[in-house]
Chains A and B, each alone.
Chain A
Amino acid sequence: MGSPSVLGVLHPPASAEQSGARPSGTEPAAALTGEHLRGLDVHESRLRLRAAWLMIFNGMIGCFGVLWDIQWHVDVGRDSFLTPPHLTLYTASAVSGLISLWMVLWSTWRFRRGALEINERTTVQLWGFRGPLGFMVSGFGSLALVVAAPFDNYWHQLYGIDVSIWEPFHMMGMFGNTVAIFGLMVLLSSEFNRAVRRGELGARAGLTSSSVAVAGLRGDDTWRHPTQLAMAAGLLVALTATFIVAIPAAQGSKIVGHIVGVPVFVYPILLGVLLPMALALAGLIMRSPFAATSVALMMTVWRFLTMYTVPIAVEQLRLSEGMPYRPGMPYPQLLSRYLPLTLILGGIAVDWYRHWHKKRQSAREALPEEASGALMGLLATLPVVLTWYPYLNAGGSKSEGARKVLTSVPMTTVTSLLMAGLVSMVVGYLMSRLAHPLKRVLR
Chain B
Amino acid sequence: MKGLKRVLKPVSSMMMAFWLVVGCSNTGLAQTTEVKPKLIGSIAGNSAPLHTETLTVSGAGIESGTITVGFYEWPLRVDQPALISVEGALPQTRTSIQLQPDAAVNALVARAMSQPDGALPDVSWHELTAIVQGRWTLQVKVRPESEASKGFTPALVSVDALAPVASLPLVVEGPPAMPRWLAWLIAASPLMMLAVFVRKLNESIEHSSSEETPWWEGVARSYGAYRAAASDSQEPSP
Using a CB–CB cutoff of 8 Å, the interface residues on chain A facing chain B are: 1, 5-6, 9-10, 29, 32-34, 37-38, 40-41, 53, 57, 61, 77-81, 84, 87-88, 116, 119, 121-122, 124, 126, 133, 136-137, 140-141, 144, 148, 151, 153-163, 168-169, 171-172, 175-176, 178-179, 182-183, 186, 197-198, 224, 229, 313, 316-317, 319-324, 434, 437-438, 440-443
Contacts and interface: CB of A to CB of B under 8 A. Distances in A.
B26 A320 contact: yes
Nearest to B180: A168
Interface string B68-105: 00000000001100000000000000000000000001
Given A133-B201, A197-B214, A440-B209, 7 more contacts: A126-B200, A133-B197, A156-B131, A157-B131, A322-B156, A322-B158, A443-B204
Contacts of A186: 197, 201
B148 interface: no
B216 A40 contact: yes
B184 to A, nearest CB: 5
B190 interface: yes
Contact of B29 (A153, A158, A321, A443): A321
Interface string B167-205: 000000011011010011011111101100110111011
Contact of A84 (B25, B177, B180, B216): B25
B180 A179 contact: no
B152 interface: no
Contacts of B216: 34, 37-38, 40-41, 116
Report which residue of A88, A160, A319 has the largest number of chain B beta carbons within 10 angstroms of its beta carbon.
A160
A37 to B, nearest CB: 3
B189 A57 contact: no
A242 B25 CA distance: 28
Given A160-B132, A161-B108, A441-B204, A148 B22 contact: no
Contacts of B14: 57
Contacts, number: 188
Contacts of A121: 207-208, 211, 215
B30 interface: yes
Interface of A, helix, strand, loop or mixed by DSSP: helix
Interface string B32-62: 0100000000000000000000000000000
A322 B226 contact: no
Interface string B112-146: 00000000000000000101110000000000000
B222 interface: yes
A148 B193 CA distance: 15
Contacts of A81: 79, 131
B111 A79 contact: yes
A440 B201 CA distance: 10
23 contacts: A38-B214, A79-B108, A80-B131, A121-B215, A126-B200, A140-B193, A148-B187, A151-B187, A155-B183, A156-B131, A157-B79, A158-B132, A158-B174, A160-B105, A168-B186, A169-B186, A171-B187, A172-B188, A182-B194, A183-B197, A320-B29, A323-B108, A440-B208
Given A40-B216, A116-B219, A172-B186, A440 B105 contact: no
B173 to A, nearest CB: 10
A276 B78 CA distance: 41
A337 B177 CA distance: 37
B110 interface: yes
A183 B105 CA distance: 40
B16 interface: no
Contact of B175 (A37, A157, A443): A157
A300 B110 CA distance: 39
A248 to B, nearest CB: 16
B161 interface: no
B107 interface: yes
A6 B223 contact: yes
Given A172-B190, A179-B194, A322-B33, A437 B202 contact: yes
A144 B190 contact: yes
Given A5-B219, A32-B223, A140-B193, A157 B132 contact: yes
Contacts of B107: 79, 160-161
B205 A440 contact: yes
Contacts of B201: 133, 186, 437-438, 441
